[in-house]
Amino acid sequence: MPEGPSIVILKEAVQQFSGQKIIDVSGNSSIDILRLKKKTIREFKTWGKHFLICFDDFTVKIHMLMFGTYRINERKETVPRLRLVFADGEINFYTCSIKILEGDVNLHYDWEEDVMNENWNPEKAKRSLDKIPKQMICDALLEQNIFSGVGNIIKNEVLYRCKIHPESRVGKIPEKDIVSLIDESVVYSFQFLDWKKNYELKKHWLAHTKKTCLRCDLPLVKKYTGTKKRRSFFCTNCQKLHQ
């Protein structure tokens, strides 16, 4: 479910309810869900992996974490964390984190940090990376305040495509490679979006979960890298280690 493109798909899938009034609400979320009853949804937004339901003076933030799911005009067997009922349909969210953000949503988010947002600012990402030269690039790509929306799959695919070893130190990577990593994080995120919509995402994985490098035919290394200790799949022959 989780990475940024999947949340964009969710946003597109619920557009039929934008501007609609919630006529009933239920679920086992710990937030005050009754607050949503009879309120009109002004807009759905996303910021990376955050799905945002915006009302006049507050926003419901939904994070799918690792296992979150949703159903539109359908129900699973289990009790939903949150169910929103409209005059002509409903949305059900399961196993997700839900929080309320007070006031203008723009005060909570910097849209320039979201790789899939129209306000994405690659120069800002570059400046942010310049501030963390000692971090490994595998950790930096997962920093949501630099590459909001990038998850572990996108990380592995971007590093493979750019031929950069995940344990490279940010400050040792040549500037042209940093720029290509920033660019590719956007390009691949939108490819991810298209492929996911067509149920063919995995078919296009070049490195993630793969056993062999398709460039040189040597085995890919699987290793839990960086301080975040997320699994990386990489080719020590084709991906350069800058240290």
- Which of 15, 32, 34, 66: binder of DNA (CB under 7 A)? 66
DSSP result, 42-85: -EEEEETTEEEEE-SSEEEEEE-TTT-EEEES---SSPPSEEEE
Binding residue (CB under 7 A) for DNA from 21, 76, 127, 215: 76
Residue 78 within binding range of DNA, rule CB under 7 A: yes
- Would you call 220 exposed, middle or buried from its count of C-beta atoms within 10 A (0-12, 13-18, 19+)? buried
Instruction: Note whether 135 and 211 are within 8 A (CB).
Output: no
Cα–Cα distance for residue pair 224/6, rounded to 1 Å: 24
Q: How far is CA 47 from the centre of its chain?
A: 8
Asked if 61 touches DNA (CB under 7 A), the answer is no
| Cβ–Cβ < 8 Å for 115, 186 | yes
Write the binding mask 85 to 124 for DNA: x where contact by CB under 7 A, - elsewhere.
---------xx-----------------------------
**Residue carrying the six token digits 């009853």:** 37
Q: Which stretch binds DNA (CB under 7 A): 37-45, 66-74, 121-129, 178-186?
A: 66-74
111 secondary structure, DSSP code: G
| 80 makes contact with DNA (CB under 7 A) | no
* Region near DNA per CB under 7 A, out of 37-45, 105-113, 115-123, 146-154: 146-154
Both tokens of residue 94? 């399961």
**191 contributes a contact to DNA by CB under 7 A:** no
Angle between helices 152-162 and 175-197 (to 10 degrees): 130
Verify binding: residue 3, DNA, rule CB under 7 A: yes
Is residue 144 within the footprint of DNA (CB under 7 A)?
yes
Q: Please state the closest distance from residue 206 (CB atom) to DNA, in A.
A: 14
Q: Which of 71, 197, 230, 240 binds DNA (CB under 7 A)?
A: 230
Question: Applying CB under 7 A, which of residues 116, 157, 208, 239 lies at the interface with DNA?
Answer: 208
Tell me if 2 contacts DNA by CB under 7 A: yes
Beta strands in the chain (DSSP E): 24-26, 43-47, 50-54, 58-63, 69-72, 82-86, 89-94, 97-102, 221-225, 230-234
Check residue 67 for interaction with DNA (CB under 7 A). Answer: yes
Interface with DNA (CB under 7 A): 1-3, 6, 48-49, 63, 65-67, 69, 76, 78, 94-95, 142, 144, 151-153, 208, 227, 230-231
